[in-house]
């Protein structure tokens, strides 16, 4: 199953790869033909892998914050959140490599009270300034049990487009599709201080399933 955001790219890649396969047939060197064919197949498989959208089994729970994306936990710290809360929050950052699933999912159910897009730079996603200077979107969902949870999609060095489906005043469901980040990125979660975390640094997490924190 592939994400709808990848349909045009997959189709274009298929046409491109198919056309190049036909052109390769005119080459008279057998080993070169085989090498180019393998390279084209690997390229197309990587495109398919990047836009895959596996079904996830979310256990809905208003006392849990689930991981919005697949990846590795790279930051756990108390920070000043300057855009929306303007106070101290517990930040959990998840880095996605190009081989991870890049679908973003809602970490909690509730009402979207804030959603904003910011154009910006394309620093590597693990850069300390990427959360403030890169292209990004900030979304805040208010949950009846946990309160307000902020997640921020951040474009990386390869990413050139962030897709965000969250609109202000929408009612959203934990684990449902919230957007997509194309080609390498990171997501930051900002939670209330005192939230009990269920993850550690360098832990791999799965979007829609791994419980990041609980009330």
Q: 10 Å Cβ neighbour count for 191?
A: 23
Q: How far is CA 180 from CA 78, 147, 215, in A?
A: 27, 24, 27
Cα gap 170→190, rounded to integer Å: 20
Q: 10 Å Cβ neighbour count for 214?
A: 15
What are the two backbone dihedrals, phi and then psi, of residue 162, each rounded to the nearest 5 degrees?
-105, 130
Which of 67, 93, 131, 185 does the annotation list as catalytic? Answer: 185
Q: How far is CA 23 from CA 17, 20, 28, 141, 179, in A?
A: 10, 5, 11, 51, 37
Q: What is the DSSP letter of 4?
A: G
Say whether 185 is catalytic: yes
Active-site positions read: 185
């Amino acid at each position: 199953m592939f994400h709808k955001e990848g349909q045009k790219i997959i189709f274009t890649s298929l046409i491109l790869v198919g056309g190049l396969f036909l052109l390769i047939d005119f080459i008279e060197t057998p080993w070169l033909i085989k090498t180019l064919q393998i390279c084209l197949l690997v390229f197309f498989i990587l495109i398919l892998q990047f836009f895959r959208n596996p079904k996830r089994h979310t256990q809905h729970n208003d006392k849990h914050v689930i991981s919005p994306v697949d990846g590795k936990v790279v930051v756990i710290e108390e920070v000043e959140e300057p855009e929306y809360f303007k106070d101290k929050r517990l930040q959990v950052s998840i880095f996605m490599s190009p081989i991870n699933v890049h679908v973003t999912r809602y970490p909690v159910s509730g009402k979207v009270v804030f959603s904003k897009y910011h154009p910006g730079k394309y620093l590597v996603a693990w850069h300390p300034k990427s959360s403030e200077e890169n292209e990004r979107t900030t979304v805040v969902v208010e949950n009846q049990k946990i309160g307000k949870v902020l997640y921020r999609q951040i474009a990386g060095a390869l990413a050139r487009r962030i897709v965000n489906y969250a609109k202000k005043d929408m009612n959203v469901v934990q684990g449902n599709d919230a957007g997509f980040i194309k080609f390498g990125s990171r997501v930051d979660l900002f939670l209330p201080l005192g939230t009990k975390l269920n993850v550690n640094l360098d832990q791999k997490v799965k979007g829609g399933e791994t419980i990041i924190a609980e009330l």
